[in-house]
Structure 1
Amino acid sequence: MAELLVIRHGQASFGQDNYDVLSDLGHEQARAVGALLRDIGWVPDRMITGTLKRQQDTLTSMGFGDGAEEHSGFNEYDFSDLLNARFKGDVPALENGDRKAHFRMLRETVFEWQDDTFGGARETYRAFAARVEAARTFSIDTDARRVLVVSSGGVIGQMTSVALGAPNREMMNLNLQIKNTALTRFMFSKNAFSLNEFNATPHIMTKSGAHLLSYS
């Protein structure tokens, strides 16, 4: 069977005006996971990212940027847009840097989005799920044996929950666990697609790599 290795982008710019920019730590994380793959001889035959800068820059810092394809189905859902739709433009203020409150609001908002509790968002959850599935199908429609994708936490959570046949809610529970530059591996053939490994970070699980751990 062939392998589809999906990596979450490196740490972006949480709390800044433009989140879609890798932090210095994000570039370091990407270099570390790229070095790991080369050390174990895992060289991709095909590379794909979404169209977001943080995804593309992660692949470049990994050292695998040349010849990559793009598919917008690997882009993250727009949390800011979901918040505006949920609260009709009057989004509650959060204390600056309060990550726990941020992720609690993220979880609650996505659950309501999945339940179609509010309208007005540019993308419904059903549309998000459909484009992620289209991106997955695109990535495995290939003769390549090792496909590398750089995407985002929500997309990886969605792909994983669908592969497991889990309820919609599990997408978000998985999403919130996914570490920056974590590896999620699927095995595929023309007739099969299954999860092999989820949220693995061997490049971080060392004394020298411990400082690389982040979730946003």
Structure 2
Amino acid sequence: MAELLVIRHGQASFGADDYDRLSDLGRAQSRAVGQVLRDMGWEPDRLMTGTLQRQKDTLAEMGFDAPPEEHGGFNEYDFYDLLRVKFGGEMPDPVRHDRKTHFRTLRDTILEWQRGGVEGAKETWRDFVARVAAARDFAMDTDAKRVLVVSSGGPIGQLVASTLQAPPEMMMTLNLQVRNTSMTRFIFSRGRISLHEFNAAPHFASAEGAKLMSYS
């Protein structure tokens, strides 16, 4: 049996022109999760990220030395594109800059996308599901016993939902629960996979660590 440990990237730069970069908090979160893995004696045999900068920077801050592989299937869905399509162009300012409004609107948009709506988006829901499955299979096609992946909330939600054979709507429920740099662990062997742990964050368990916790 082997382990697939999927970590969500550290906090990115919400509301900024360039979202795809870590905030100072995101860098601190990334260092903390790397340290807690070393403290646990968990050293990865294979490292992977998507192609997004915030994912690659999270792994770099974690401090593991081996060169990582990349698979675009671990990238987040393009939420800016989905929201722009939904609103016929530029997003309303509250949707772009107010967290509660943003994530409430995003949830409704993803549910619509899953039902075949948001026509004209760069990626369909079916294509998203397929690429996440392809990334999972690529990560499992290995002799490594400990595979570490840095991904994003949407793919993590989809990986868990598909593993549990849950309905599509569950993906978004899970997506919104995933904390920055939390760990979701799967056990796999011979093409079979099972969920072992979801959204764990031992690096947030202390009083000091709790100050690092964020969801977006």
Q: What band does the TM-score fall into relative to the shorter chain?
A: over 0.9
- Residue 92 of structure 1 deviates from its aligned partner by 3.0
- Other-structure match for 2:20: 20
Distance 1:175 1:96, change over 3 A: closer
- 8 A Cα contact 2:95 2:105, kept in partner: no
RMSD of aligned Cα (Å): 1.2
Secondary structure in 2 matching 1:196: strand
Question: For 1:191 and 1:126, how far apart are their aligned partners in 2?
Answer: 22
Distance change in 2, residues 1:85/1:102 (3 Å): same
- Distance across 1 between alignment mates of 2:208 and 2:136: 34
Does the 8 Å CA contact 2:178/2:215 hold for their aligned counterparts? yes
Contact kept in structure 2, 1:56 and 1:65, CA below 8 Å = no
Q: Which residue of 2 aligns with 1:87?
A: 87
Which letter does structure 1 place at the counterpart of 2:200? Answer: A
The change in CA–CA distance for 1:52 and 1:167 in structure 2 (over 3 A counts) is same
Name the amino acid aligned to 1:198.
F
Distance 2:102 2:147 in 1: 33
Deviation at 1:99, TM superposition (A): 1.0
Task: Look up the match of 1:210.
Answer: 210
- One-letter amino acid of the counterpart of residue 22, structure 2: L
Match runs of 1:1-216 below 5 Å: 1-64=1-64, 66-94=66-94, 97-216=97-216
In structure 2, what is the Cα distance between the partners aligned to 1:55 and 1:96?
21
Distance 1:123 1:24, change over 3 A: same
Q: Percent identity?
A: 62
- Number of aligned positions between the proteins: 216
- Structure 1 residues 89 and 96: alpha-carbon distance in aligned structure 2, compared to 1, 3 A threshold: closer
Specify every segment of 5 or more residues in structure 1 that has no aligned partner in the other structure, as ranges.
none
Q: Which runs of 5+ in 2 are unaligned?
A: none
Report the Cα offset of residue 65 of structure 1.
5.1
Q: Larger helix proportion, structure 1 or 2?
A: 2
Residue pair 1:2, 1:189 contacting (<8 A) in 2 also:
yes
Contact 2:47/2:149 (<8 A) preserved:
yes
Q: Report how far residue 64 of structure 1 moved.
A: 1.7
User: Distance between the aligned counterparts of 1:92 and 1:161, measured in 2?
Assistant: 31
Q: When the two structures are superposed, what TM-score results if normalisation uses the length of structure 2?
A: 0.97
